Structure 1
Amino acid sequence: MVTRRTFLGGLVGAAIAPAVVRAQQAAEPEFLKEQLTSGSLPPMAERIPVRPRIVNLKEMGLEPGAYGGTVRTIIGGQRDIRFMTIYGYARLVGYNKHLQFQPDILAGFQSEDDTVFTFTLREGHKWSDGQPFTADDFRYWWEDVILNDKLTPGGGALELRPHGSLPRFEMLDPLTVRYTWEKPNPMFLPTLAGPQPLVIFGPGHYLKQFHKKFQPDQAKMDELMKTYRVKKWQDLHIKMARSYRPENPNLPTLDPWRNTTPLPSEQFVFERNPFFHRVDETGRQLPYLDRFILNVSSSSIIAAKAGAGEADLQATGIDFNDYTFLKEAEKRFPVKVNLWKLARGSRITLLPNLNCADEVWRGLFRDVRLRRALSLAIDRHEVNMVAFYGLGTPSADTVLPDSPLFKQEYADAFVKFDPDEANRLLDELGLTKRDDDGIRLLPDGRRAEITVETAGESNLDTDVLELVHDHWANIGLALYTRTSQRDVFRNRAMSGSIMMSIWYGLDNGVPTADMSPAGLAPTLDDQLQWPLWGMHYLSAGQEGVAPDLPEAAELVDLLSQWGSTAKFEERQVIWHKMLSLYTQQVFSIGLINSTLQPILRAAKLQNLPEKALYGFDPTSYLGVYMPDAFWYKEA
């Protein structure tokens, strides 16, 4: 029996009502007045799709707003302009605030047993440069990017070939495309809805000038490669087509704001996309806000700058230990600070590197008794009280109670403070000899010294490590801390130089069974507990090494089973098997979750929830709360 799920977007069945059109014509943003007057920009009724996505803000408990205004935010480096792609959250298929799938860019879509996916586009939808957005943009990306071995030498993203083969692509008509796999691909929709969405379309009308197949003038291609400092045409196309990190101001976009600033810069200006596909229930085109200005700063002083009145909206670069300082800023500046719940599996997580280069430590880290001992020796109550004022929840690195997959046994796995049991486990491992300072000795005679490395982006990590230092000293282990920049930190992890790191826990702490459990298995090279195993999966076996720990290999196998079934009940069973195995094996040592994340906003900025879930995946930080509907209410 074929299970069909059909989802339709706002006003799919009828063109937009005449009353709404009149409202649109009377409600053009002042920001666009000059272009409208000169005729370089058509009126709103000609800019938006025939059937735009109508967002009923009142039904969502929000207030329809007014046009205008600039939002300042601070980023820790030029690469962080990607936050605008995450915040803008324009997706073919996205999550609503209840984390259910809904069409967004698409007018509608149909899934048949998660094997056949049919996507319907919105008639009259346009890119930010005013050119039509049609099925041709999917065909270009499929035929001339994904199937081009120069542009996609690895054969395409794993999400497109979960069982080894790419799907069959069909362009049914100018507004309809279809992807068909022989087996279910339940990862497809969650990946399209994610914070870093799978790319399956692009503005072919713009990108063809950088493609060898479509650029007949070799002298022109050579000139372009020289201008953009690349040696191969494929590198030129990749550079100019990058949408997640929108560094090319000329690249047409479907996002609510578009970058206008080329690299390098200390300030990036994103301006409203006059062809954006959403409108509110009164007929006003979103976004309400005209501009976002992203000021580049050192990560270490973002909180200080935000608290000094230099940001109108700040969520990244600040942490819970900045809350008191930021709250004080309310007395000096017209800002408000709310606290949202962090949606990760753990705010603080210790990650023993099971791929570390040190042979002795690698063998110890792969023994579950050591991982359990390290976890049992930590007094999480003390960590919670000192670092989070008791507002967090001591827990393993696992899903939160907000997830339908939550079980208390996962949260409780080896988190009880029990130094006696920790000592017993270490003795059982054979680490019975100690030096004069009470530090245990390794089998090769070295002191049991664990260096925990941090990217240095949060004082909170350092504060917590000071507490853990004392906890582990009580069981005969010496802890040292090393700080490095994020890029160096990642590279050292991949090389095996890092023994253990401190980072966040599972990206998605609020999953449903329809979301991928890939975070529980070695699938990415930036999973710090097993980067080489993750690289092996990510590269389809071309790089890294295959997991040689049975429990890690079992997680990969369970993930494969999840990806082969179209039945929700079976996915649910697999999720629970993986959660149980992951927490029992303590592959990551979670400390505290359900912690609170400060969100600073200008006092006049409307439609931000006072309380919400905050995380990278699946909420895309602010994304699912629709920043295009934020607006300034004048005093």
Structure 2
Amino acid sequence: MKRSFVTMVVCLLLFMTISGCFDPPADDTTAVVGEKLTDAAPQTASTTEVSGGTMELKQAPMLDGRNLPPIQDRLPAEVKVTNEMPADMLKYEIGTYGGTLRTVTSAVGWDADVFVMNNEPLLNTPGILGTEITGNVLLGYTASEDGKSFDFQMRKGLKWSDGTPVTTEDVRFSIEDMLFNEELTPVFPAWLKAGGKAEGSPLSFKVVDEYSFQITFDQPYGGFPIRLAIESWRGYSDYLLKPAHFLKPFHKKYADAKVVEAAMKEGQYGDAEWAKFFNDKDVTSRELTKPAALGFPVLYPWVMVKMSDTTTEYERNPYYFKVDAKGNQLPYIDKIQSALVQNIEMVTMKTIAGEVDFSRESAALIKMPLYKENEQKGGYRTLLSDMHVTPTDIFLNLTYADPVWRQVVQDVRFRQALSLALNREEIIDTIYYGFAEPAKIMDSTFNLDEANKLLDEMGMKRGPDGFRVGPDGKKFTVPFEIGAQAPDIVPLTQLIVEFWKNLGLDVTMKTIDQTLWTTRRDANEIQATMMWTHTPLWYMADWGQSFWGRLWKVWLDTGGQQGEEPPADVKRLYDLIDKVAVSPPQEAITAIEEVKKEMSKNAWYFVHIENVKQPLIVNAKLGNIPEKGFAIAADFSGEQFFFKQ
């Protein structure tokens, strides 16, 4: 009764906030693999491009008097007119220049909101819906009818943030001298092989001219363009486009050996550490919020200019290639200031105090009453949009080293029992205030009797202390280690601990630093954890494999060179996921449904809720904020934000 009353109060409190936000969600089976949902052959990417000579270009006042080349010489001949969000998501306005956008993070060297706002993929999918592919950093592309060959066109006149032209030499250097250099890239990325498979043949690359190049695979790879647009938040700098002029002086093929040796010695690198030395000079999209980004040429809307122990600052890129419909160079906002605090609770405190202008990554439904209570005082708005992830998936590491642990958790009956012990309705009511649904991807039945029966069948008897024992006769423990990357992770894990204790299992929870959590996960040292997955969005790739079967994933990603060979049913799951990436749309839809069936049957991990709403905390004066669709789509339109006068 108490819980129902709380839900009713929160619903009343949020009514005005959420009106219009609950249209039926798009069916996640109507996915697009590199084109619109059609059986037609792939076509040229749909782009909205304008010649720089046909519109009057304007720059921000901040750039006046900086002795820069004229704006028409800084932007490409065919500028990118920014993708307006779908009309039902955003009422677009031409903005005004100026201001500093304040964000906050509790992770050292990482601000997810800044990362998403700044990152630029080679291609784009408006609203991050995956239903359309347009140009972005690249002008566009065409695909062959057999899905094997892709011709890409670059923007003539595009420039790095230091003013150096971007050409196919940057692409050639990135692919031939870095990607295909075994010292720098010892394991060739599977997504750049035929079919996106580790055992596939690497891509073939050819320069056509200064602004055109071709990538070819020896097998159909219809999903390749979508992987350049959205999957894994992959940016232009992830393998395919690097500033050759900046990196060549550190590359053994181009630089004087003595100069490189001296630079390595100065940086305290060993004689055999050239690859590490060079890769440390490079900055990928995931490193754009790290110290190495200082001084590195980029194509982002904002460039890092200062970093301290408490704050990272970014300023507008004078050479950024996007404009609005009136020819105003973007971004509208001059600067970003990212504050670093000690923990997620301090993030919340700064947010409700009005010291943050935009917060999505760290906002959580469980904090909604607090957000709403402080809106007027903090000068912000609280919006509810769709979450692009399933936010609190539960993982047991099936490849953890302990043989007793493996014997238990690799038994599907154990996983089915734990799923049956999850009270989804209580989770939705308690943690998400009713703004979620039980997941349909797996059986969401709550049945403790059946769960206990399955554990009894496994021979997991209860000891004198009431806890169940494993095959070795000792108390079997499920030790959760969580990084508390979001505010709902800790309270939900606490709830899961109680659910599974009701089965007679010894379940513990330990919160650790996020950096340590990542290190331990990558080292296969975490047995049980909670984290989000991007399955609703990255349907072609993200099914939590790094968490529930890390060594199996490593084996598959490296073509058997590392990791551990998975059992046949896991290989089948991967084959189905791979099929999604290479199939025409209708076949991909069928493959996705097969993946879901396998997930439900085997309970590889626990996707217990879906269709969760995501709070978005924004300064009340901030314009061009999408109020429907995926909340993270707001980050993607960050260059369009502006402060209303």
1:207 and 1:122 map into 2 onto residues whose CA distance is 21
1:126 and 1:484 map into 2 onto residues whose CA distance is 42
| Structure 1 residue 282: Cα displacement | 0.8
CA separation of 1:449/1:221 partners in 2, compared to 1, >3 Å: closer, same or farther?
closer
2:510 equivalent in structure 1: 482
CA separation of 1:521/1:349 partners in 2, compared to 1, >3 Å: closer, same or farther?
closer
Alignment partner of 1:192 is 2:211: no
| Structure 1 residue 629: Cα displacement | 0.6
2:577 equivalent in structure 1: 559
1:239 alignment partner AA: D
1:575 and 1:612 map into 2 onto residues whose CA distance is 22
| Structure 1 residue 448: Cα displacement | 3.3
Alignment partner of 1:371 is 2:415: yes
Tell me, which stretches of 5 or more residues in structure 1 are unaligned?
Answer: 396-409
1:168-187 map, 5 Å? 168-187=204-223
Task: Name which of structure 1's ranges 598-607 and 460-469 shifts more when overlaid on structure 2.
Answer: 460-469
Alignment partner of 1:428 is 2:457: yes
| Structure 1 residue 473: Cα displacement | 2.9
| Structure 1 residue 490: Cα displacement | 3.5
| Structure 1 residue 357: Cα displacement | 2.4
Picking from 382, 388, 413, the partner of 1:343 is 388
| Structure 1 residue 240: Cα displacement | 1.7
Picking from 263, 269, 280, the partner of 1:224 is 263
1:59-208 map, 5 Å? 60=87, 61-81=91-111, 83-97=113-127, 98-99=129-130, 100-112=132-144, 113-156=146-189, 158-161=191-194, 162=197, 163-194=199-230, 195-197=233-235, 198-208=238-248
| Structure 1 residue 81: Cα displacement | 4.7
2:443 and 2:70 map into 1 onto residues whose CA distance is 62
1:438 and 1:193 map into 2 onto residues whose CA distance is 52
2:24 equivalent in structure 1: none
Secondary structure of the corresponding residue to residue 589 of structure 1:
coil
1:318 and 1:334 map into 2 onto residues whose CA distance is 16
Alignment partner of 1:291 is 2:318: no
| Structure 1 residue 252: Cα displacement | 1.0
Picking from 332, 352, 357, the partner of 1:307 is 352
Task: Name which of structure 1's ranges 57-66 and 286-295 shifts more when overlaid on structure 2.
Answer: 57-66
- How does the TM-score come out when normalised to structure 2? 0.86
Secondary structure of the corresponding residue to residue 332 of structure 1:
helix
| Structure 1 residue 140: Cα displacement | 1.3
1:47 equivalent in structure 2: 74
1:372 and 1:111 map into 2 onto residues whose CA distance is 44
1:591 equivalent in structure 2: 608
1:632 equivalent in structure 2: 643
Secondary structure of the corresponding residue to residue 489 of structure 1:
helix
Instruction: Compute the RMSD of aligned alpha carbons.
Output: 2.4
1:321-336 map, 5 Å? 321-336=366-381
2:394 and 2:591 map into 1 onto residues whose CA distance is 25
8 Å contact 1:348–1:593 — kept in the other structure?
no
Picking from 443, 456, 459, the partner of 1:414 is 443
1:203 alignment partner AA: P
2:524 and 2:303 map into 1 onto residues whose CA distance is 39
Secondary structure of the corresponding residue to residue 384 of structure 2:
strand
1:229 and 1:268 map into 2 onto residues whose CA distance is 26
Secondary structure of the corresponding residue to residue 374 of structure 1:
helix
1:323 alignment partner AA: M
1:336 and 1:82 map into 2 onto residues whose CA distance is 20
| Structure 1 residue 96: Cα displacement | 0.6
Residues 559-604 of structure 1 show CA distances to partners (whole Å, capped at 9, x for unaligned) of 34444x4422222222211111012211111222222222111111
1:227 and 1:605 map into 2 onto residues whose CA distance is 46
Secondary structure of the corresponding residue to residue 590 of structure 1:
coil
CA separation of 1:59/1:186 partners in 2, compared to 1, >3 Å: closer, same or farther?
closer
| Structure 1 residue 288: Cα displacement | 0.7
Task: Name which of structure 1's ranges 436-445 and 164-173 shifts more when overlaid on structure 2.
Answer: 436-445
Residues 298-321 of structure 1 show CA distances to partners (whole Å, capped at 9, x for unaligned) of 233211122222211112233222
Residues 196-227 of structure 1 show CA distances to partners (whole Å, capped at 9, x for unaligned) of 334301111121111122212x4432343244
Picking from 242, 253, 258, the partner of 1:213 is 253
2:566 and 2:312 map into 1 onto residues whose CA distance is 42
Residues 74-117 of structure 1 show CA distances to partners (whole Å, capped at 9, x for unaligned) of 12234215653422242211111143211111112111132101
1:251 alignment partner AA: F
CA separation of 1:510/1:196 partners in 2, compared to 1, >3 Å: closer, same or farther?
closer
| Structure 1 residue 275: Cα displacement | 1.1
Tell me, which stretches of 5 or more residues in structure 2 are unaligned?
Answer: 1-38
CA separation of 1:583/1:181 partners in 2, compared to 1, >3 Å: closer, same or farther?
same
1:404 equivalent in structure 2: none
| Structure 1 residue 285: Cα displacement | 0.9
1:360 equivalent in structure 2: 404
1:325 and 1:49 map into 2 onto residues whose CA distance is 46
8 Å contact 1:168–1:180 — kept in the other structure?
yes
CA separation of 1:249/1:154 partners in 2, compared to 1, >3 Å: closer, same or farther?
same
CA separation of 1:589/1:4 partners in 2, compared to 1, >3 Å: closer, same or farther?
closer
2:49 equivalent in structure 1: 11
Task: Name which of structure 1's ranges 295-304 and 274-283 shifts more when overlaid on structure 2.
Answer: 295-304
2:64 alignment partner AA: K
1:180 and 1:274 map into 2 onto residues whose CA distance is 34
2:360 and 2:259 map into 1 onto residues whose CA distance is 43
1:42 and 1:237 map into 2 onto residues whose CA distance is 31
Secondary structure of the corresponding residue to residue 202 of structure 2:
coil
2:468 and 2:306 map into 1 onto residues whose CA distance is 56
1:499 alignment partner AA: Q
1:581 alignment partner AA: E
1:225-624 map, 5 Å? 225-231=264-270, 232-244=273-285, 245-246=287-288, 247-261=292-306, 265-300=309-344, 301-344=346-389, 346-395=390-439, 410-411=440-441, 413-431=442-460, 433-504=461-532, 506-510=533-537, 516=540, 518-520=541-543, 522=545, 527-548=546-567, 550-563=568-581, 565-614=582-631, 622-624=634-636
1:353 and 1:573 map into 2 onto residues whose CA distance is 28
Residues 437-467 of structure 1 show CA distances to partners (whole Å, capped at 9, x for unaligned) of 4322323222233222211344533322333
1:401 equivalent in structure 2: none
1:545 and 1:255 map into 2 onto residues whose CA distance is 39
CA separation of 1:91/1:461 partners in 2, compared to 1, >3 Å: closer, same or farther?
closer
8 Å contact 2:363–2:617 — kept in the other structure?
no
2:563 and 2:576 map into 1 onto residues whose CA distance is 20
| Structure 1 residue 371: Cα displacement | 0.7
Secondary structure of the corresponding residue to residue 382 of structure 2:
strand
Secondary structure of the corresponding residue to residue 377 of structure 2:
coil
1:202 alignment partner AA: K
